[in-house]
Amino acid sequence: MQISDSTNHDGADLPVGSAGPPFRVLFEFDVSDIPAGKVITGASLDLTLAASNSSIGGKVCRLRRADWSETQATWTAYKTGSSWAAAGASDATNDVESPGSGNTACVSYAAPVATTGHAVLGGLGPLVRDAVDLRSGKLRLRIKQDTETAGGNWWRAYDSENTPVSVRPKLIVTLGP
C-alpha cells in the first residue's frame, strides 16, 4: 500500500518518489512457510510498472512497526490513532531501519530502466532470513527513493488487487538444498 498524505490509499497503485507530495510504499509478506535454518540463496521483489519517469534509485528497508495496518496507514499514522514517530515511516529508531553502511536490513535499488514492464528489486535475501528467524515469518518493507523532490522523479507499480494477477507484486525467494 502507498502512504503519501492523510488518506489511506489501500487498493491504489503503488507510486514511489514524488509527483507532488512524496510517495512511499509499504509491503508485508508472510514467509513463515520457509523452514527455519533453510538456506535462502536469493530473494527479490518483482513489480510491474504502470508508469515511470524516474532516474533515481532508492532503498528497501525493514519496517520496524509490526502493528501497522494496511487499511489504516497514512503519511502520519501507522494505524488509526497511532502516529509514526516521524511522518512517512521515517524514524530510524521506531519506524524503519536506518539505511546506514553495512546494515543488511536495508537494500539499495537502482532506478527503473523502463517506463513500463517489470522492475526487480533484488538482494532481499537477508531481509527474508531476518523475517523467518526473528519476525514470526512476517517480512515488512518500506520502499523510498533516495531523493524526493516535489514534482520530480517517480515510478508507479500495480498493487496486489490489480487484475490480471500476473501484474501483482511478487516476492520471489530461492532456496538452497
* SS3 state at 128: helix
Task: Using DSSP, state whether 41 is helix, strand or coil.
Answer: strand
- pLDDT tens string 90-115: 999 999 998 766 677 899 999 887 78
Cβ-contact 38, 128 below 8 angstroms: no
The answer to whether 27 and 47 are in contact (CB under 8 A) is: no
Per residue in 118-128, pLDDT tens? 899 999 999 99
- Indicate the domain borders of the chain: 2-175
Which amino acid belongs to residue 64?
A: R
Contacts of 137 (CB under 8 A, 6+ apart): 30, 31, 32, 33, 34, 131
pTM of this prediction? 0.89
**Considering only CA atoms, which of 15, 44, 17 is closest in space to residue 150?**
17
Q: Which residue numbers in the chain have pLDDT < 70? A: 1-15, 18-21, 100-102, 150-151
pLDDT computed for residue 7 by the predictor: 65
The pLDDT assigned to 62 comes to 94
Task: Look at residue 31 in the predicted model and tell me its pLDDT.
Answer: 97
